[in-house]
Amino acid sequence: MVHAVETPLILSGSDQKPQNTGTRVFIESKKLWSVAGPSILGNILSYSTMAITQAFAGHLGDFELASISIANSVIIAFSSGLMIGMSSALETLCGQAFGAKKYHMLGIYMQRSWIVLFLCATLLLPIYIFATPILIWMGQPVELAARAGKVALWSIPLIYAFAFLFPISRFLMSQMKNNIMAVFSTFVFLLHVFITWLFVYKMKLGLFGTVMTLNFSWWVNVICLFGYVVFGGCPFSWNGFSMEAFSNIWDFVKLSTSSGIMVCLEYWYFSALVLFSSTLNNAQIAVDALSICLCTNTCVFMISLAFFASTGVRVANELGAGDGKAAKFAVKVSVMTSTLIGLFFSGLIMGLHDIYGLIFTSSPEVLEAVDKLTWLLAITIFLNSVQPVLSGVAVGSGWQATVAYVNIGSYYLIGIPVGLVLGYAFDFGVVGIWSGMIGGTVVQTSALTYMTVKCDWNQEVMKAGERVEKWDSPCIL
């Protein structure tokens, strides 16, 4: 069967190679921002739905804020991190297939990912159902664990939204269709603000209302993007549902699992910071302050996450198109751009050290604790401007399994043990725990930098070609 050929939205580096370095940087920056720009807006607005929920909970009371923070940082972060990671396999496969002009395979990859993530969501159900005893076993105060357990139980619809939304997002992103995601994210965010205000302040549904609005908003986003794909938005890459989605399913599970391990180890890392801090003296204030800092960090991290995605797409597209030099140059431009953005926001957060906490709480005790942690937040923001871009290189190149080992060593054998020693043995509390974990991030970033610098891009081109041929299969209309 002959497939229609779509003109790539991002040309490979071999199509045109300007001699002037400044011109090359400008052209590559345009390509990078064509993905990163809409992705930044979409990421910030999507995450803001979570932040709005947390902010409304915070104004209900400190205990409500702590409850939803624990549920979000431990239970929901566990599942979302795993699913985001598993769906990132599509960034490698769809990105390289798009670069190689195997457009028909993108829709099949997405369907395979839906199958795998739906099964994963179902397997995760016991964690949500038994969240309260799990949190108590982890050392959480009984009353806080009971309330957070209810939040987790109410959030079950959310994990199935993750199972469908993340693959659709990667499918669209690999084709540079970020603009449509940004449009729908804007609509969903505005809708979320309104219904949260309606449920919490007007209908007085309290904490239950905040969680229900979150479920509703994420599912609205799923329905909007699914409708766009199915009803003509992707005529070349979506050819309808196909039984080919069930072929090579075990190999797809293995690739998704290695991708999941790589990414979710990073997501769980700072979730562990909230978990450990909740066992300190005056845990409620510590958790509230830390949650506000990490929520602020995550808002900025949405920008870095956009560069993670755009770097992965650019690298995968160029490797799929057979141009290793263009992939290498794309990495350089992305790292430089993201680092400058990180420096800007680190300085900004230091300048607003005694103000930004007011978005989430009016408690003087919590605001004071937030102020004292701001310098650690600024360092974290800077590191997070570099590390995600290097992780994007790994995803675009298909290095997920190797990076998973790097993450285990740097985060869980260095960062967390050092943080626990500083926090408990040396009695530095939250500052000690966070400082140790920053050290782990430094080690991980250094390792990824070494891998990127030493990379043989011509060899990566050959691997990409082999990967595309391995995963290619007939398209059934």
Contact status, residue 193 vs residue 210, Cβ threshold 8 Å:
no
Percent of the chain with pLDDT over 90: 30
Which of 420, 427, 431 lies closest to 380, judged by CA?
431
At 474, is the pLDDT very low, low, confident or very high (cuts 50, 70, 90)?
Answer: very low
Encoded tokens for 409: 């060593």
Are the C-beta atoms of residues 40 and 178 closer than 8 Å to each other? no
- pLDDT for 231: 92
Confidence of residue 281 (pLDDT cuts 50, 70, 90): low
Provide mean pLDDT across the span 383-398: 89
Dihedral, CA of residue 184, residue 189, residue 191 and residue 194, to nearest 10: -170
pLDDT tens-digit series, residues 62-100 = 677 777 877 876 778 778 878 888 888 888 888 888 888
pLDDT at 31 over 50: yes
Map tokens 């940087």 to a residue.
25
| Cβ 260 vs Cβ 83: under 8 Å | yes
Residues 136/149, Cβ–Cβ less than 8 Å: no
State how far the Cα of 396 lies from the Cα of 310, in Å rounded to an integer: 9
Q: Which of 157-161, 285-289, 425-429 has the lowest mean pLDDT?
A: 285-289
CB 78 within 8 A of CB 218: no
pLDDT for res 11:
44
The answer to whether 131 touches 152, Cβ cutoff 8 Å, is yes
* Residue 471: per-residue pLDDT: 64
φ, ψ of residue 453 in degrees (nearest 5): -65, -40
Q: Average pLDDT of 351-370?
A: 84
Please give the pLDDT value at position 475: 42
**pLDDT at residue 366, rounded to an integer:** 84
Task: Taking residues 326-350, report their average pLDDT.
Answer: 92
Q: Is the pLDDT of residue 337 over 90?
A: yes
For residue 283, the model assigns a pLDDT of: 64
CB atoms within 10 A of CB 7: 7
Judged by average pLDDT, the poorest of 88-97, 170-179, 204-213, 466-475 is: 466-475
Any residues with CB less than 8 A from the CB of 413 and at least 6 apart, and which? none
pLDDT of 177 higher than 90: no
Domain ranges of the chain: 22-471
Checking if the pLDDT of 161 tops 90, the result is yes
Q: What is the pLDDT of residue 333?
A: 93
3-state secondary structure of 20: coil
Best mean pLDDT range from 249-263, 331-345, 457-471: 331-345
| Alpha-carbon distances, residue 181 vs 40, 73, 210, 435 (angstroms) | 10, 25, 24, 36
End-to-end Cα spacing for the chain: 10
**pTM listed for this prediction:** 0.78
Please, which pLDDT band fits residue 3 given cuts at 50, 70 and 90?
A: very low
- Give the CA dihedral 116, 235, 324, 469, nearest 10 degrees: 60
Res. 295: pLDDT tops 60:
yes
CA distances from 231 to 178, 314, 476 (A): 17, 27, 18
Distance CA 191, CA 389 (A): 31
81 contacts 298 by C-beta, under 8 angstroms: no
Cα–Cα dist 411/417, whole Å: 9
Asked if the model's pLDDT at residue 15 lies above 80, the reply is no
Comparing 262 with 319, the larger pLDDT belongs to 319
What is the C-alpha to C-alpha distance for residues 347 and 42, in angstroms, rounded to an integer?
24
What are 297-319's pLDDT values in tens digits? 877 888 888 888 889 888 988 99
**Segment among 38-42, 258-262, 265-269, 366-370 with least mean pLDDT:** 265-269
The pLDDT of 234-257, averaged and rounded, is 85
- On the question of pLDDT at 476 being above 60, the answer is no
Q: Which of 297, 262, 312, 234 is nearest to 36 (CA)?
A: 312
Flag whether pLDDT at 7 surpasses 50: no
* 236 has pLDDT over 80: yes
Q: What is the mean pLDDT of the chain?
A: 84
Q: What's the residue count for the chain?
A: 477
- pLDDT for 240 beyond 60: yes
Q: Could you tell me what percent of the chain has a pLDDT over 70? A: 92
> Confidence class of residue 429 from pLDDT cuts 50, 70 and 90?
confident
